[in-house]
Structure 1
Amino acid sequence: MTELTANLKTRCVGRYLVDMPEGATEYGYARIGGVDIEAKAMTEDAYRQEIAQRETVLKTVEITYPRPFLYAAGPARGRSTYYFIYRDTLIDSPATRYIEGYKWDRGYRFLLKIETYDYVHPDQTDDPIVKQFDVKNEVPAKTNLVFDLLEKLRGRPNEEIPTEPGVCFAGGFLPGKATDDQYVRGGFTLTSNPDVSFVVSVDTASQGGITLLQHADDSQTLDALKAMDAKVIRKGTVELSGLRAEEWLFEGLKPGDGRGDTFTLSVNDTTSGPSSPYLSLEMDTGGQLKIQGKFVKLDKGSLTTREAIALWDAVSRKVRVRPGAFGYRFSNNISNR
């Protein structure tokens, strides 16, 4: 356990910082303004090959699909960018459009994707339902959104911690102010203990009026815990660096009928917004592992519950707002009950 907690490395998720065991594998994505964004490390040559292959696939589909299928393709805004606008499967409405944007920057390929609509091409504006829409073709606006994001996105090694306002996600950084439509999900898996994982979710949208502890005491939750033969280890409020959080730790049956631990911490459950993003940190141990495409049940996790708690305390107590993330001194709305 000392080896896991002695060398924690700072990672950036959303506008927060978390410390993870050295060597943890990081993955994740962002959703900004409804656009899904993921980054993947690759060379520029590999990126250009991927674009060429994607264009070949889309043009091949057009041969057997009612035309047009591929509506637009070409460089987007900025260096090393490209985009496609196309329809998808045969079951889709003729109005359905998918916009894909690509960019290579600093060793990372970005893939952006959003679904939208166009009731003008082909013309469906006489449809009574379509007549009720203020905007009958969202493609131009959504294309501009994708282009704006492509222009700003930067490749970012996971160990690099930005000092300016913006949003971090695995492999990338989007500079700019906080808005109410920014979601990031980051995952971390321990190489030495593959059944141990952390998931961090950061969201500027409202989460409703239920706190983690209220959810933990809900009658349906209590029934689910009973079905899992779960044992609550502890739950309550936690004071972090400038943040008030709630945590809930329990041990019980996992999918596959193995046993393991589930620990959760949350910040800003009921006060989430651009200036006070919701954060959820979850740690899981035990359960089952996917090995060579098959799930293998673990009768118990690689960590004892006591060891898992020690790791959890080392990681969860270091959650904090990234300095400079908002461009001003962060003042947390701590009334999250």
Structure 2
Amino acid sequence: MNIRPIAALLFLLLLIMAACGRQSAVLTEKEKHNVSQLTENLKTRCVGRYLIDMPADALVSGGAKVQGVTIESEAMSHEAYLREVMNRKAELRGTKSIDPYPFLYADDEVNGPETHYFIYRGNVSDGEGRRVFEAYKWDHGYRFKFGIEGYDYLHPDQTNDPAIQQFKVKNDVPEKTRLVFNLVNRLRWRADDDIPAEPGLCVLGTFLSGKPADNENAWAQFVLDGNRDVSIGFESDSSIRESNTLLQRDDQINSGLQLVDGRTIRKGAVALSGIGAEEWLLASKTVFGVSGNTFTLEANSMTSSAQSPLLILDLETGSPNAFMQDRIKGPSISENEAVALWDVISRTLRTRPNGF
């Protein structure tokens, strides 16, 4: 979905706000041109249960954790997927415990040949009650990997141990197996620009249908293809509730700024579409030792729940990310351009219709 007219309107509003004395940057003609190019072709992306408009050519990585199960996605050919599962199977089958009990407890399909799962001890030196779950699914050029840990103190029987006797459930393998299988079966491939119309969680390359839960975390990182040091990160997490808001952490943030030769560009409340948020825009030295920026927006900090999770959006320049690790001499965009880009992108964050 190309929303060039919306991007142009947002950029125009940005310039008007700067003219009215807001703390947005006053751009040079060259900077205006650069920002216009960065925002002229935006596409709506589904992230978690939310929508945000990003440059169409942005590179993306991401994952999720639902009810304790981590979900990783990676673009992968079918041949590479089969090879990965085969190699993992050979590795686990070839591992022997240092005690008389098995190392590998399950090795089978979940639901058809494009899914597989393992239950094993973890490391050869781990206790005989530990269980690690790994499940794999391939769909439309993506490999999805699921992981969670559990325990089984009945096989072998360790219930004579006073510590084990304190456990109400002595074996959570059946429960964890049902949980993992349920997620594997609910997860379906999703095209990058597909916006689902039903409740569920968007993760890179996939969609997990279902109503929100208290223990649900999704994240994504977008990196500008032509400016690899510029990244925009999104995270939603219903399991975290902060004791204060972003703006109430001023002592902590200001102390940190002194250590990295930093300064505040601006901070304040932000009214998004149906979301009350706060932002803090910083300039400082990055881990590369160059001048860069870190902008953060936060919502639902102290009220996080399944229906309104903690939201964090950030933009970084001059810093490493999932697609750029090489050292650089300086950021690829100016501070003024970074602020202008932020003001266009961040204001498009909104709840996906019927996402919850």
Deviation at 1:106, TM superposition (A): 3.0
C-alpha displacement of 1:63: 8.2
Is 2:164 the partner of 1:130? yes
- 1:249 and 2:303 matched: no
Query: What is the RMSD computed on CA atoms of the aligned residues?
Result: 2.0
Alpha-carbon distance in structure 1 between the residues aligned to 2:192 and 2:113: 23
Structure 1 unaligned runs (5+)?
327-337
CA distance in 2 between counterparts of 1:2 and 1:163 reads: 31
Q: Look up the equivalent residue of 1:54 and give its one-letter code.
A: R
Aligned positions of 1:52-201 closer than 5 A: 52-62=86-96, 67-77=101-111, 80-201=114-235
What is residue 21 of structure 1 aligned with on the other side? 55
Q: Residue in 2 aligned with 1:303?
A: 333
Structure 1 residue 64: deviation in Å? 7.8
SS in 2 for 1:84: strand
Structure 1 residue 199: Cα displacement: 1.0
Distance in 1 separating the partners of 2:224 and 2:351: 23
Separation (CA, whole Å) in 2 of partners of 1:152 and 1:291: 29
CA distance in structure 1 between the aligned counterparts of 2:327 and 2:322, rounded to whole angstroms? 6
* 2-structure distance, mates of 1:186, 1:154: 18
Aligned to 1:286: 318
Report SS of the residue matched to 2:254.
helix
Does the aligned pair in 1 maintain the 2:61–2:322 contact within 8 Å? no
- In structure 2, the residue matched to 1:330 is none
Whether the aligned pair in 2 keeps the contact of 1:259 and 1:287 (CA below 8 Å) is no
Q: Give me the whole-angstrom Cα distance separating, in 2, the residues matched to 1:18 and 1:79.
A: 35
- Tell me if 1:225 matches 2:238: no
Q: Which runs of 5+ in 2 are unaligned?
A: 1-34
Deviations 1:112-158 (A, max 9, x none): 01011111222221111111000111111101100011111001122
* Rounded Cα–Cα distance in structure 2 between residues aligned with 1:100 and 1:290: 24
Counterpart contact for 2:228–2:323, Cα < 8 Å? no
Is 1:313 matched with 2:332? no
Counterpart contact for 1:236–1:246, Cα < 8 Å: yes
Equivalents in 1 of 2:55, 2:284: separation in Å?
24
TM-score calculated relative to the size of structure 1: 0.90
The code of the aligned residue for 1:117 comes to Y
1:155-200 per-position Cα deviation (integer Å, ceiling 9, x unaligned) = 1122111111100011111001011111001111111011101110
Residue aligned with 1:161, SS = coil
- Deviation by residue 1:273-303 (Cα, 9 ceiling, x = unmatched): 11112210010001458999x75253x3111
Determine the structure 2 residue equivalent to 1:31.
65
Alpha-carbon distance, 1:9 to partner: 1.3
Give the aligned residue type for 2:317. Answer: T
Q: 1:207 to 1:78 in 2, by over 3 A?
A: farther
Structure 1 stretch displaced more, 61-70 or 205-214: 61-70
Change (3 A) 1:276 1:289: closer
Distance 1:289 1:37 in 2: 20
Does 2:240 match 1:240? no
1:325 aligns with 2:355: yes
Give the alignment's TM-score, normalised by structure 2: 0.86
* Distance in structure 1 (CA, Å) of the matches to 2:97 and 2:127: 19
Aligned-partner SS, 2:95: helix
**C-alpha displacement of 1:29:** 0.5
